[in-house]
Amino acid sequence: MFKHTIVRRPAATLMHGLTSVDLGRPDYLTAQVQHQCYIDALLSCDVDVTVLPPREDFPDSCFVEDVALCTPHCAVITRPGADSRRGEAELIGTTLQRFYSSLESITAPGTLEAGDVMMVGTHFYIGLSARTNEEGARQLIQILQRHGMSGSMVKMAEMLHLKTGLSYLEHNHLLITGEFLHLDEFKSFNRIEVPAEEAYAANSIWVNDSVIMPAGHPYTAEQVRKLGYRLIEVDTREFQKLDGGVSCLSLRF
Ligand code: CIR
């Protein structure tokens, strides 16, 4: 069960965030409303929510998931692969110190964004993406092993982050789409294959037997309901314009 979550409110500079999609620029006011609804969804899952203030100097800083990996035994401050996001990692340390006695970090030349890391019990799958390199993954695996956990690397070719196309919903249930459908390491899960037209919903989060999912993906929503989860649908379309999904907007531990 998760007890804590951390979010950072979007900055007015959000429209200058990194993007690879052509969905237009996010509207700041709408993004603020959607972000508050996201916080309300987390609060309904029996977790506390630490709400950090916006940082105008970092347009992507509301995507707080990428700058730290929060495990049951330690937190790891990452070293984002995107230059414009590297400084975001330094901002999260003081907040994490409130919750963790053990803080680790990824160092140069390693890069790692925790959107590329999927926790399945004590094992962590680490996507090798344009943002996470082998050195970053190797450092993370060493850190995990020191704390009694394990990690393995997953080669990636297309998606921004590992969890763009994969979400572990506990109890062996896995949302999976796109380039991950054919990989051997994900064959033994109970897979919910997300069709291409709903691919954005493959990035959803399990929070204490609720699942928070982006609204507007009826097939995937129905499959998740059939698993017996309480489903909460949230509108994150302003964040989608910057390649951001449901998982990117929080740390959960
Ligand atoms: C970026 O490109 O870094 C942001 N615009 C989006 C980050 C999304 N984070 C995630 O998938 N974990």
Report the pLDDT value the prediction gives residue 115, as an integer from 0 to 100.
98
| pLDDT 10s digits, 36-82 | 999 999 999 999 999 999 999 999 999 999 999 999 999 999 999 99
- What is the Cα–Cα distance from 36 to 212, expressed in whole angstroms? 14
Handedness of CA 240, 111, 181, 145 (dihedral sign): negative
Looking at the 3D structure of the chain, how many domains does it have? 1
Q: Which domain holds residue 228?
A: 4-252
- What is the Cα–Cα distance from 32 to 137, expressed in whole angstroms? 33
For ligand 1, is residue 161 a contact (CB within 6 Å)? yes
Across the beta sheet with 75-77, the strand order is 68-70, 75-77, 103-105
Report the pLDDT value the prediction gives residue 122, as an integer from 0 to 100.
98
Task: Give bridge partners of residue 168 from the DSSP assignment.
Answer: 174
> Is the pLDDT at 124 greater than 90, yes or no?
yes
- Count of CA atoms in the C-beta half-sphere (13 A) of 83: 0
- Of 161, 171, 173, 217, which residue is the catalytic one? 161
Model confidence at 191, in pLDDT bands (50, 70, 90)?
Answer: very high
136, 79 Cβ separation under 8 angstroms:
yes
For ligand 1, is residue 130 a contact (CB within 6 Å)? no
195, 219 Cβ separation under 8 angstroms:
yes
Model confidence at 102, in pLDDT bands (50, 70, 90)?
Answer: confident
For ligand 1, is residue 88 a contact (CB within 6 Å)? no
- What 3-state class would DSSP assign to 161? coil
Smallest CA separation from ligand 1 atom 2, residue: 18
Report the pLDDT value the prediction gives residue 162, as an integer from 0 to 100.
98
Q: Residue 251 C-alpha to ligand 1 middle, in angstroms?
A: 13
Report the pLDDT value the prediction gives residue 166, as an integer from 0 to 100.
98
- Of 45, 62, 74, 248, which residue is the catalytic one? 248
Task: Report the phi/psi class of residue 37: left, alpha or beta, with left for phi > 0 and alpha for psi in -120 to 50.
Answer: alpha
Q: Which atom of ligand 1 is nearest to the CA of 114?
A: 12
Report the pLDDT value the prediction gives residue 131, as an integer from 0 to 100.
98
Establish whether 248 is a catalytic residue.
yes
For ligand 1, is residue 242 a contact (CB within 6 Å)? yes
Percent of the chain at pLDDT above 90? 100
Smallest CA separation from ligand 1 atom 12, residue: 115
> Is the pLDDT at 163 greater than 90, yes or no?
yes
CA distances from 91 to 41, 48, 119, 126, 235 (A): 25, 20, 23, 23, 27
Mean pLDDT of 84-88: 97
CB atoms within 10 A of CB 93: 15
Q: What amino acid occupies position 55? A: R
Complex ipTM above 0.95? Answer: yes
Q: What is the mean pLDDT of the chain?
A: 98
Establish whether 217 is a catalytic residue.
no
- What is the Cα–Cα distance from 117 to 125, expressed in whole angstroms? 6
Mutate to test the pocket of ligand 1, among 58, 239, 243 (most ligand atoms within 8 A of CB): 243
Residue 166's domain is classified under what CATH number? 3.75.10.10
Model confidence at 226, in pLDDT bands (50, 70, 90)?
Answer: very high
